[in-house]
C-alpha cells in the first residue's frame, strides 16, 4: 500500500470512528432526555379502600383511572396508581404504606376511614393511624391530599362528632390539601350508587373526580414547586 492509499485508509477510519462516537453521543443524549421526561411525569398514589379500588366497577372505571383520564384532559400527563384495597381500614393502609411509597409518588391522596366508621372503631385509633400515615408520606417529600369521611348516622351523634372532626383537625395540623368529604354530592343518591347504597357507580365516580379535580391539580402544583 503506497502513502496515498495509507492516508486515505487512515482518513476513512478516522471518519467512521467519528461517526460512531457521534452516534454513541446522540444515543446517550436521547436516553437522558427520555429519562428526564419520565422523571418529570408526576406520580399520584391513591391510598384507599373499596372506594378507590373500584368495587363493582368495570376495569378503567375506578377513581384512579378516571382521575388520570381527567388530568390528561387538562393537559397533565400524570401516572395515577390505584392503591385501594376493598375492606381496608386506616390501620391496614398504614401497614402497607411503605411498600406503596416505593413508587415514589409526588402526591398521595389519602382516602381511608370509611370502614373504620362502618365498623364503629374507636375514632382515636383512626386519628392516630391517619396521623402516622400523613407523617410517613411527608417524610418522603411527597405532598398529601386528605379526603375526609363522615360517620354513619346510626352510630350516634357523639361518635359522629368525634369521627367527623378527625379530618379537618389533621389537615390543619399538617397543613395538607384537604377535600372535606370524598363522597360529596354522591352519597345517598340512588342514581349514583350501586345497589348496596354504599359504592358509587361509574357515573358517581365521575362526579367525584369532577369535584375533586381542582384540588388534585392544586396539590400537584404544590408538589412541583
CATH node for 42-223: 3.40.50.1110
> In this predicted structure, what is the pLDDT of residue 32?
43
Q: Which one from 5, 157, 158, 196 is the annotated catalytic residue?
A: 196
> In this predicted structure, what is the pLDDT of residue 55?
98
Which residues of the chain are under the pLDDT cut of 50? 25, 28-36
Q: Which one from 49, 50, 116, 143 is the annotated catalytic residue?
A: 50
> In this predicted structure, what is the pLDDT of residue 36?
42
Q: Are 166 and 134 in contact (CB under 8 A)?
A: no
> In this predicted structure, what is the pLDDT of residue 96?
98
Read off the C-alpha cell for 212.
375533586
Q: Are 145 and 217 in contact (CB under 8 A)?
A: no
Residue 196 annotated as catalytic:
yes
β-pairing verdict for 143-147 and 107-111: parallel
Residue 50 annotated as catalytic:
yes
Is pTM beyond 0.75? Reply is yes
Domain assignments of the chain as residue spans, ordered by start: 1-40, 42-223
Q: What is the pLDDT of residues 68-121, one digit of tens each?
A: 999 999 999 999 999 999 999 999 999 999 999 999 999 999 999 999 999 999
Buried b (16+ CB within 10 A) or exposed e, 19-38: eeeeeeeeeeeeeeeeeeee
Q: Are 171 and 146 in contact (CB under 8 A)?
A: yes
Give the residue among 183, 189, 186, 176 at the shortest CA–CA distance from 215.
176
> In this predicted structure, what is the pLDDT of residue 40?
80
> In this predicted structure, what is the pLDDT of residue 197?
95
Amino acid at each position: 500500500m503506497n502513502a496515498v492509499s495509507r492516508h486515505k485508509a487512515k482518513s476513512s477510519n478516522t471518519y467512521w470512528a467519528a461517526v460512531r462516537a457521534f452516534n454513541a453521543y446522540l444515543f446517550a443524549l436521547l436516553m437522558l432526555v427520555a429519562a428526564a421526561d419520565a422523571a418529570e411525569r408526576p406520580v399520584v398514589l391513591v391510598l384507599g379502600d373499596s372506594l378507590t379500588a373500584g368495587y363493582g366497577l368495570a376495569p378503567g372505571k375506578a377513581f384512579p383511572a378516571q382521575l388520570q383520564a381527567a388530568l390528561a384532559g387538562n393537559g397533565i400527563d400524570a401516572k395515577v396508581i390505584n392503591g385501594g384495597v376493598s375492606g381496608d381500614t386506616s390501620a391496614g393502609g398504614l401497614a402497607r404504606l411503605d411498600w406503596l411509597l416505593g413508587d415514589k409518588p409526588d402526591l398521595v391522596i389519602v382516602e381511608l376511614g370509611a370502614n373504620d366508621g362502618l365498623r364503629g372503631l374507636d375514632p382515636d385509633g383512626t386519628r392516630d393511624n391517619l396521623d402516622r400515615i400523613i407523617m410517613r408520606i411527608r417524610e418522603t417529600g411527597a405532598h398529601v391530599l386528605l379526603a375526609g369521611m363522615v360517620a354513619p348516622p346510626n352510630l350516634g351523634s357523639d361518635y359522629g362528632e368525634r369521627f367527623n372532626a378527625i379530618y379537618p383537625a389533621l389537615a390543619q395540623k399538617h397543613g395538607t390539601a384537604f377535600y372535606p368529604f370524598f363522597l360529596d354530592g354522591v352519597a345517598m343518591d340512588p342514581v349514583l350508587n350501586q345497589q348496596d347504597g354504599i359504592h358509587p357507580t361509574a357515573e358517581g365516580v365521575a362526579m367525584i373526580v369532577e369535584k375533586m379535580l381542582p384540588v388534585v391539580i392544586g396539590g400537584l402544583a404544590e408538589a412541583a414547586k
